Amino acid sequence: MRYISTRDDSSTPARKTFTDILLGGLAPDGGLYLPESYPQITRAELDAWRGLSYAELAFAVISKFVDDIPADDLKALIDKTYTASVYCNGRNPELAAEITPVRWLEPGLGLLELSNGPTLAFKDMAMQLLGNLFEYVLEKRGETINILGATSGDTGSAAEYAMRGKRGIRVFMLSPHNRMSAFQRAQMFSLQDANIFNIAVRGMFDDAQDIVKAVSNDHEFKSRYKIGAVNSINWARVLAQTVYYVRAYLAGTRSNDEQIVLSVPSGNFGNICAGHIARMMGVPIARLVLATNENDVLDEFFRTGIYRPRGTAETMVTSSPSMDISKASNFERFVFDLVGRDPNVVRALWASVDAGGSFDLTGTPHFARLPTFGFASGKSCHADRLATIRRIHEQYGIMVDTHTADGLKVAAEHRLPGISTLALETALPAKFEETIVEALGMTPARPASMVGIENLPQRVEVMDVDVDAVKRYIERHCN
């Protein structure tokens, strides 16, 4: 399996291996990496896979995309990642062993639990594997990496819990000082591992993000201090997520004659991109339901064919904050497939996007082909979120988090007769207490290990919005 860039229009495109692109981000031409072609899942494989454990299934799927890590090593890395103790979250051992159990609300409608990892959000599903893959590849090459990132909440904690204590890896995570919830701060800042560095900047998330960009654009500094990233465009993250789409199909159906509808709360298009890939591999997914919050760029595209990313000033702060995104960083991967994998078309479309503009596929053959990709979309606002959290609690006695509520709201608008629907649960309600209290007047339960986490000692360096100060801090801690 080789990987190509969505923007490589040369007559002999560069063909990279999995480990070539594992540690990097964008391709040098600004595009995103995708496999040259999607390996297919045969009917016989789907039949055989019904009996597999999560880790066995993960190996079956991921090994189709990786040919430069010896199979035994890859298997060991996957086995050590997807264990009941990592994805336990205080549940009974049998449920924990399923890693991503389905919780049926009623016949034909269920939740795919993806949030039982260490930070209570689906990002652990991929990030934990990334931590183990990074450590393995760095050790083989005798290299080290300093991961620099900015977070408004979920990504930073998932990255830190995946990389803590890993050899050859340091994490420098910037966050906006006093802007995250007390729980999110405690999750990150209470980590005492020597390779984890939290930096709170006196500014907003965008200020933190701008510092990361500025440091990464200093090529001399970047290469001297081996600065890397683990952001949502990382191919290995998308690949690891593909596994649970296959799992969702197998767990949500009784035989391979059935199809399934899957609903996905979306921001950067990373999660649902993995669903698209599973569908391209032949998993019988009848519909991928894309749910946005008030920041509805993606819903707008799937309804109209117009992709109109917005600026920071136009991005709303909502009660499903992990979807407060107005430029979907993984969307280019889908559009590459939509336009028949023509890098020239992608280049032309993103020339406009990267210049702060938009594109409109209305009336083009590309837009005419859109329905064949199985997407449906919708949006959910604060009032919908509260109503859904209340309705699910009243009808089924289950608390869902705000993002999952957006997914359930839009799922209800796109169900298909005779086909089961699974809504992907992207976080646990304990992470977003305030809105749960607003909706239900009660506080969601926390896993025992996180009770009182706010009272633990915290390690964080508070700084002004100052690129040089961050660079000096990294220098001081790299020796």
Ligand X SMILES: *Cc1c(COP(=O)(O)O)cnc(C)c1O
Binding residues for ligand X (CB under 6 A):
121, 123, 154, 232, 265-271, 322-323, 403, 426-427
Question: Whole-number minimum distance, CB 230 to ligand X, in Å?
Answer: 13
Which of 173/463 has CB closer to ligand X?
173
> Angle, to 10 degrees, between the axis of helix 467-476 and the axis of helix 205-217?
70
Contacts of 293 (CB under 8 A, 6+ apart): 265, 316, 318, 320, 323, 324, 379, 380, 381, 385, 403, 406
In the bound state with ligand X, the residue whose beta carbon lies nearer, of 110 and 267, is 267
Indicate the residue among 138 and 386 with the shorter CB distance to ligand X.
386
Closer to ligand X by CB, 132 or 318: give it.
318
DSSP state of 16: B
Min dist. Cβ of residue 248 to ligand X (A):
15
Shortest gap between Cβ of 268 and ligand X (angstroms)? 3
CB of 271 to ligand X, least distance (A): 4
- 113 versus 154: smaller Cβ distance to ligand X: 154
Distance separating alpha carbons of residues 118 and 450, to the nearest angstrom: 10
Own/partner contacts of 310-315, CB < 8 Å, gap of 24 or more, are 311/356, 312/206
What single DSSP character describes residue 452? Answer: T
Contact criterion met (CB below 8 Å) for 137 and 22: yes
Strand partners, 33: 5
The Cα angle at residue 263 between residues 150 and 61, in degrees rounded to 5: 75
Taking alpha carbons only, the member of 299, 287, 305 closest to residue 325 is: 299
Do residues 398 and 392 lie in contact, with contact meaning Cβ atoms separated by under 8 Å? yes
From the list 16, 64, 80, 123, the catalytic residue is 123
Active-site residue, 123 included: yes
Min CB(50)–ligand X separation in Å: 27
Catalytically annotated residues: 123
